[in-house]
Chains A and B, each alone.
Chain A
Amino acid sequence: MNESPTYGSVYGLMAEFDSAQELLAAAHKTHQEGYRKMDAYSPFPIEGLADAIGFHKNRVSFVVLIGGLIGLMSAYALQYWVAVITFPTNVGGRPYHSWPSFIIVTFELTILFGGISSAVGMIALNGLPMPYHPVFNVPAFTQASENKFFLVVEASDPQYDPAGTRAFLSGLAPRMIAEVPS
Chain B
Amino acid sequence: MATNTQTPVEVPVADRRVPVIAPGHTYSTITEKISNIVLTRPISLGWILGFLIVFGMLNMLMGVLGYLFVKGTGIWGINIPVGWGFAIINFVWWIGIGHAGTLISAILALLRQTWRNSINRFAEAMTLFAVACAGIFPLAHTGRPWLAYWLFPYPNTMNYWPNFRSPLVWDVFAVSTYFTISLVFWFVGLIPDFATMRDRAENLWAQRIYGLLAMGWRGSARHWHRYETAYLLLAGLATPLVLSVHTVVSFDFAVGIVPGWHTTIFPPYFVAGAIYSGFAMVLCLAIPIRSIYKLEDFITIRHIENSAKVMLATGLIVAYGYGIEAFMGWYSGNRYDSFLMWNRLHGPYKFWYAALLACNIFIPQILWLKKFRTSTGWLWLISFTVLLGMWLERFIIIVVSLSRDFLNSSWGMYYPTKWDWFTFAGTIGLFLTGMWLFCRVLPMISIFELRTLLPEAQVHETAEVKQ
* CB-based nearest A residue for B181: A115
Q: Does B220 lie within 8 Å of A39, measured CB to CB?
A: yes
A contact face: mostly helix, strand, loop, or mixed = helix
Q: Does B216 lie within 8 Å of A146, measured CB to CB?
A: no
Q: Does A60 lie within 8 Å of B226, measured CB to CB?
A: yes
Q: Does B237 lie within 8 Å of A133, measured CB to CB?
A: no
Q: Does B459 lie within 8 Å of A48, measured CB to CB?
A: yes
Encode B205-234 as 1/0 by CB contact (under 8 A) with A: 000000100011111111111111110011
Interface residues of A in 99-142 (CB under 8 A from B): 101-102, 104-105, 107-109, 111-112, 114-116, 118-119, 121-123, 125-126, 128-133, 135-136, 141-142
Q: Does A104 lie within 8 Å of B226, measured CB to CB?
A: no
- Specify which chain B residues have a CB less than 8 angstroms from the CB of A64 in the assembled complex: 230, 233, 237
- Specify which chain B residues have a CB less than 8 angstroms from the CB of A83 in the assembled complex: 161, 163-165
Contact of A109 among B177, B224, B228 (CB under 8 A): B177
The stretch of A2-10, A19-27, A170-178 in contact with B is A19-27
Q: Is A168 an interface residue (CB 8 A)?
A: no
Q: Does B164 lie within 8 Å of A131, measured CB to CB?
A: no
Interface residues of B in 158-172 (CB under 8 A from A): 159-165, 169-170
Contact of A122 among B181, B230, B237, B461 (CB under 8 A): B230
B contact face: mostly helix, strand, loop, or mixed = helix
Encode A77-113 as 1/0 by CB contact (under 8 A) with B: 0110011001101010010001001101101110110
Q: Is B292 an interface residue (CB 8 A)?
A: no
Q: Does B27 lie within 8 Å of A146, measured CB to CB?
A: yes
Provided the pairs A24-B459, A129-B216 are in contact, do residues A119 and B188 lie with their beta carbons within 8 angstroms?
yes
Q: Which residues of B contact A (CB under 8 A)?
A: 1, 26-28, 31, 153, 159-165, 169-170, 173-174, 177, 180-181, 184-185, 187-188, 192, 195-196, 198-200, 211, 215-230, 233-234, 237-238, 240-241, 244, 248, 251, 448-449, 451-452, 456-457, 459-462, 465
* Smallest CB-CB A-B distances: 8 pairs: A122-B230, A129-B215, A147-B27, A50-B225, A28-B465, A130-B216, A45-B224, A142-B199
- 8 inter-chain pairs at a CB distance below 8 angstroms, sorted by A residue, are A40-B221, A45-B224, A83-B164, A87-B159, A91-B163, A104-B170, A104-B248, A145-B195
